[in-house]
């Protein structure tokens, strides 16, 4: 069985190993690939693994030996699943590896926005505390999380873990769920999406990117938010209308944003949000802890092994 990895570097820049996959077949790992290179590099492959390199209908039709496409991630929109289904090719993903790590990043952004630890530490290193007349100082409002309301948009595994952490901080939690029903999570209450934007002190996005959710954070919904509220996005960049967010931050209609994702990744140099007031962007790393990547790779190996045994798992098409 020939196995080809199109873009393995982000998952494994060298701190993990590919031995588990190598034991299952003839393995070739490319660190990076472009869409134009897919057909040449995947020629003869029965199993094709990709993280962000797109595999579309044209490539699928040009690879007659292909029987399984594995995504080295949870989101699988980079694969034409309909074209794969038409060829009876299984598309498999890794649905659960990053729950703890992504939830942790949500609170990394929340705590940064509410207390600005890095900024204040830098001012101390620059000598400002030593020269200060008083025993303390702060440049930004210091915000306590207890009794604030966290609104979670999308209440799957990650949304549920974020709710657990929020309750540990003494926060109230509301959620907008796909079917509008109360989540099976104790005191988390389901509300309509617009009500969530009105009532939340912090909003965290955890829904998949679909035609229905693209641009779900619109100018109209940003206008519903409290002027003291923060927006957190560790899900998918296109959930947010970036121009509307830029305007809301510029006009101080909301207090700030923590973003681990953008609509286009990597973004172009000079992206407008880079200079937006109280907007902090991390380079899509919520998933990237060593523990999460190890779990991801282990599940990829399990997916390929299950496929080879005729019992494909985590099939999305």
Start-end of CATH 3.40.50.720 domains in the chain: 2-97+290-308, 99-281
Angle at alpha carbon of residue 167, lines to 99 and 203, rounded to 5°: 70
pTM metric for this prediction = 0.92
Residue 186, pLDDT > 60, answer yes
Taking a C-beta distance cutoff of 8 angstroms, is the pair 171, 145 a contact?
yes
Indicate the pLDDT class of residue 177, thresholds 50, 70 and 90. confident
pLDDT at 118: 95
List pLDDT tens digits, range 74-88. 989 899 999 999 999
> Which CATH architecture best describes the domain 2-97+290-308?
3-Layer(aba) Sandwich (3.40)
CATH number of 99-281: 3.40.50.720
Task: Answer left, alpha or beta for residue 61, where phi above 0 means left and psi between -120 and 50 means alpha.
Answer: alpha
pLDDT at 180: 57
Three-state secondary structure string covering the chain: CEEEECCCCCCCCCCCCCHHHHCCCEEEECCCCCHHHHHHHHCCCCEEEECCCCECHHHHHCCCCCCEEEECCCCCCCECHHHHHHCCCEEECCCCCCHHHHHHHHHHHHHHHHHCHHHHHHHHHCCCCCCCCCCCCCCCCCCCCCCCEEEEECCCHHHHHHHHHHHHCCCEEEEECCCCCCCCCCCCEECCHHHHHHHCCEEEECCCCCCCCCCCECHHHHHHCCCCCEEEECCCHHHECHHHHHHHHHCCCCCEEEECCCCCCCCCCCCHHHHCCCEEECCCCCCCCHHHHHHHHHHHHHHHHHHHCCCCCCECC
Query: Which residues carry out catalysis?
Result: 236, 265, 284
pLDDT at 178: 74
List pLDDT tens digits, range 93-149. 999 899 999 999 999 999 999 999 999 999 999 999 999 999 999 999 999 999 999
List pLDDT tens digits, range 233-286. 999 999 999 999 999 999 999 999 999 999 999 999 999 999 999 999 999 999
């Amino acid at each position: 069985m020939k196995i080809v990895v199109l873009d393995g570097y982000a998952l494994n820049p060298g701190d993990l190993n590919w031995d588990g996959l190598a034991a299952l077949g003839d393995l070739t790992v490319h660190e990076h690939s472009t869409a134009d290179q897919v057909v040449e590099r995947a020629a003869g492959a029965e199993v094709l693994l990709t993280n962000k390199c797109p595999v579309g209908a044209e490539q699928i039709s040009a690879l007659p030996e292909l029987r399984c496409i594995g995504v080295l991630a949870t989101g699988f929109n980079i694969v034409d699943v309909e074209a794969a289904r038409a060829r009876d090719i299984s598309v498999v993903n890794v649905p659960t590896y990053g729950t703890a790590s992504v939830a942790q990043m949500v609170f990394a952004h929340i705590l940064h926005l509410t207390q600005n630890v890095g900024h204040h530490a830098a001012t101390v290193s620059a000598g400002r505390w030593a020269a200060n007349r008083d025993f303390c100082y702060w440049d930004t409002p210091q915000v306590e999380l207890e009794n604030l309301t966290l609104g979670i948009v999308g209440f799957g595994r990650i949304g549920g873990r974020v709710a657990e952490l929020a309750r540990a901080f003494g926060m109230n939690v509301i959620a907008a769920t796909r079917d509008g029903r109360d989540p099976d999570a104790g005191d988390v209450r389901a509300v309509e999406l617009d009500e969530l934007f009105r009532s939340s002190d912090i909003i965290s996005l955890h829904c998949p990117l679909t035609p229905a959710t693209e641009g779900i954070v619109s100018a109209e919904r940003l206008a519903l938010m409290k002027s003291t509220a923060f927006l957190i996005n560790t899900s998918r960049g296109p959930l947010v209308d970036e121009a509307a967010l830029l305007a809301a931050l510029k006009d101080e209609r909301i207090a700030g944003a923590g973003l681990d994702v953008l609509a286009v990744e990597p973004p172009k140099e000079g992206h407008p949000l880079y200079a937006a007031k109280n907007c902090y962007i991390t380079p899509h790393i919520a998933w990237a802890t060593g523990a999460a990547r190890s779990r991801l790779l282990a599940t990829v190996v399990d997916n390929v092994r299950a496929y080879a045994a005729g019992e494909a798992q985590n099939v999305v098409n």
